[in-house]
């Protein structure tokens, strides 16, 4: 492949939204209220719409007769580059919201920088996606405050969710080799420079929600390099079922 680093960089962006979109899609019909159920489903659809643009670009770069559907649906587990955070299961509604919130704060900051990319295609995708992600961030932040500053039970569950997912946040700022090369070329985002502002923004929302910011300094990583938790295999078995059972289907 002529531009393998750019291809892998795109997968690193797209896979986060693909896997998170699948997780949210699992909740369709199971939300706590009809309005919230529809909102989560719409965010899932937003994320799937975003990844289509990325995968179309990846297929063009690969130039090996694979389609956007092949790249999205037919890779093996170790070939997915998403962070571990987005593949964590919907343990309960607090976990779903906490996972969304912890990713949304990052996603919004990331796209704000990706808009400046010298790669005009990536820049255009970022400019299109950022409008939706602003809503995602507002939605999840409002729910963090609502549950954290709600009943004793909702506060306890939200604290447990933040504590449980915290170990996956640092990986957002880990750079792969493809990331480093794309940053040098002016194509990619230097995610290490987003870290301080990210934790500051997260802290501000958690304070409003009366949720304690975890003090743990232990973090897990590996997803960006294709080393995932046991949850991803089960998720992919559902995500890929139709494509593998009925080959050559199109989105």
Domains within the chain, CATH numbers bracketed: 4-212+220-245 (1.20.1260.10)
Minimum mean pLDDT range among 9-18, 26-35, 69-78, 219-228: 26-35
pLDDT of residue 28: 76
Q: Is the pLDDT of residue 247 over 90?
A: no
Radius of gyration of the chain, Cα coordinates, nearest whole angstrom: 18
pLDDT band at 38 (very low <50, low <70, confident <90, very high): confident
- SS in 3 state form for 217-233? CCCCCCHHHCCCCHHHH
Beta-carbon contacts of 85 under 8 Å, excluding residues fewer than 6 positions away, are 99, 102, 103, 165, 168, 169, 171, 172, 223
Cβ distance 202 to 105 under 8 Å?
yes
pLDDT of residue 238: 87
- Per-residue pLDDT tens over the stretch 216-226: 888 999 999 99
- Among 22, 44, 25, 41, smallest CA distance to 33 is for 41
Beta-carbon contacts of 172 under 8 Å, excluding residues fewer than 6 positions away, are 83, 85, 103, 106, 191, 194, 195, 198
Q: At what angle do helices 120-148 and 195-208 cross, to 10 degrees?
A: 30
User: What's the rounded Cα separation, in Å, for the pair 125 and 115?
Assistant: 8
- Per-residue pLDDT tens over the stretch 139-194: 999 999 999 999 999 999 999 999 999 999 999 999 999 999 999 999 999 999 99
Beta-carbon contacts of 166 under 8 Å, excluding residues fewer than 6 positions away, are 102, 214, 216
- Which residue has better confidence, 251 or 223? 223
83: left (phi > 0), else alpha (psi -120 to 50), else beta?
beta
34: buried, middle or exposed (CB in 10 Å: 19+, 13-18, 0-12)?
A: exposed
pLDDT of residue 174: 97
């Amino acid at each position: 492949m002529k531009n393998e680093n750019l291809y892998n960089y795109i997968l690193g962006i797209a896979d986060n939204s693909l896997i998170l979109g699948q997780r949210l899609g699992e909740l369709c019909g199971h939300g706590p209220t009809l309005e919230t159920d529809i909102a989560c489903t719409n965010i899932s659809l937003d994320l799937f719409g975003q990844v289509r643009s990325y995968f179309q670009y990846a297929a063009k770069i690969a130039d090996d007769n694979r389609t956007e559907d092949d790249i999205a649906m037919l890779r093996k587990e170790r070939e997915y580059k998403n962070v571990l955070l987005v593949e964590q299961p919907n343990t309960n509604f607090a976990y779903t919201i906490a996972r969304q919130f912890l990713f949304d704060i990052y996603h919004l900051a990331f796209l704000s920088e990706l808009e400046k990319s010298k790669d005009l295609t990536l820049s255009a995708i970022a400019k299109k996606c950022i409008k939706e992600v602003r809503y995602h961030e507002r939605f999840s932040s409002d729910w963090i405050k609502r549950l954290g500053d709600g009943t004793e039970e909702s506060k306890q569950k939200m604290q447990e969710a933040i504590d449980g997912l915290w170990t996956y946040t640092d990986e957002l700022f880990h750079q792969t080799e493809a990331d480093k090369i794309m940053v040098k070329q002016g194509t990619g985002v230097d995610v290490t420079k987003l870290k301080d502002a990210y934790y500051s923004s997260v802290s501000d929302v958690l304070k409003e929600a009366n949720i304690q910011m975890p003090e743990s300094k232990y973090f897990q990583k590996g997803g960006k390099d294709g080393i995932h938790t046991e949850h991803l295999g089960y998720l992919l078995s559902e995500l890929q079922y139709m494509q593998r059972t009925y080959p050559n289907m199109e989105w």
